[in-house]
Structure 1
């Protein structure tokens, strides 16, 4: 007697395109969220690390202005500000009474605007005769360096 052969067969599995679409859509959404989170983390790190260099830029600029080293202070200006003034014109403008004789940095703020890091430094300037006034120094990043930009006085 021979053995009886049994045919085993699996039921045909139907492919459901809806499930596959949901799976791939979920994976795509997950990757997008990871990308957004990574970009946000990178942005936060850029801003946290920028506080020190921004403060140092403002401090050096104001120290040079108060010391009368206008040529060195001029070099810390952004391209836009240097396009507005010549080195001689900037020096004359800074030396116009009442001159800055001292300063105190009161706040440093760094943020991004359209993906570009920008900073503002609030300072209290002391002038000849002891009068003081609060000012804001706009600071931008150019060629990897922070530079004073705009009218600081």
Structure 2
């Protein structure tokens, strides 16, 4: 009469929701790893730059206070050198009351747009004893830190 049917395996039920959740979790995990890596890179850039930024500002103001404006001019960024000629910078720095001393109060380094930038807070002492605090912008240019902006 009838033929006996052979045994067949029941069809597997697909679980598209489980696969979607797994794919989303893997994607989120990859994003978190990328964000963590970027954060570690930023921290390293900032921590490693603090010393060289301080050294650049210290050298710049030591040369300004000593009256060696030609050497100080070499520490300026391209934008600042475009603004002032070497002679003009020297005469501007020598305009009374001249800087006779300085103290670096704080150095802060951060990244903006993926590029490290720094600000050095410095207390300038002028001839006659007057003092003032200034924020000195410092940028990285061709692998070197340079003073950029109006330090006086």
User: Given the two structures, how large is their TM-score scaled by the length of structure 2?
Assistant: 0.92
Supply the distance in 2 between the matched residues of 1:75 and 1:65 (Cα, whole angstroms): 11
RMSD (Å), alpha carbons: 1.3
Measured in 2, the distance between the counterparts of 1:21 and 1:27 equals 10
Match of 2:91 in 1: 92
Count of matched residue positions in the alignment of Structure 1 and Structure 2: 147
Q: Does 1:29 align with 2:32?
A: no
Determine the structure 2 residue equivalent to 1:117: 116
Deviates more, 1:13-22 or 1:33-42: 13-22
Q: Tell me which residue corresponds to 1:106.
A: 105
The answer to whether structure 1 residue 15 and structure 2 residue 3 are counterparts is no
1:39 alignment counterpart = 38
Equivalence for 1:65: 64
Structure 2, unmatched stretches of 5+, are 1-5
Q: Distance in 1 between matches of 2:51 and 2:7?
A: 74
Shift of 1:8: 6.3
Q: Output one character per residue of 1:19-58: Cα deviation in whole Å (capped at 9) or x when no partner.
A: 1121111101100111011101110111111110110000
The DSSP-based 3-state class of the residue aligned with 2:57 is: helix
1:138 corresponding residue in structure 2: 137
Superposed structure 1 runs of 4+ greater than 6 Å apart:
none
Distance in structure 2 (CA, Å) of the matches to 1:9 and 1:71:
91
Alpha-carbon distance in 2 for matches of 1:97, 1:110: 31
Corresponding residue of 1:4: none
Contiguous gaps of at least 5 residues in structure 1 = 1-6
Secondary structure at the counterpart of residue 130 of structure 1: coil
SS at match of 2:10: coil
Quick one: distance in 1 between partners of 2:27 and 2:10?
32
Distance apart, 1:114 and its partner CA: 2.0
What's the CA shift for 1:9?
4.9
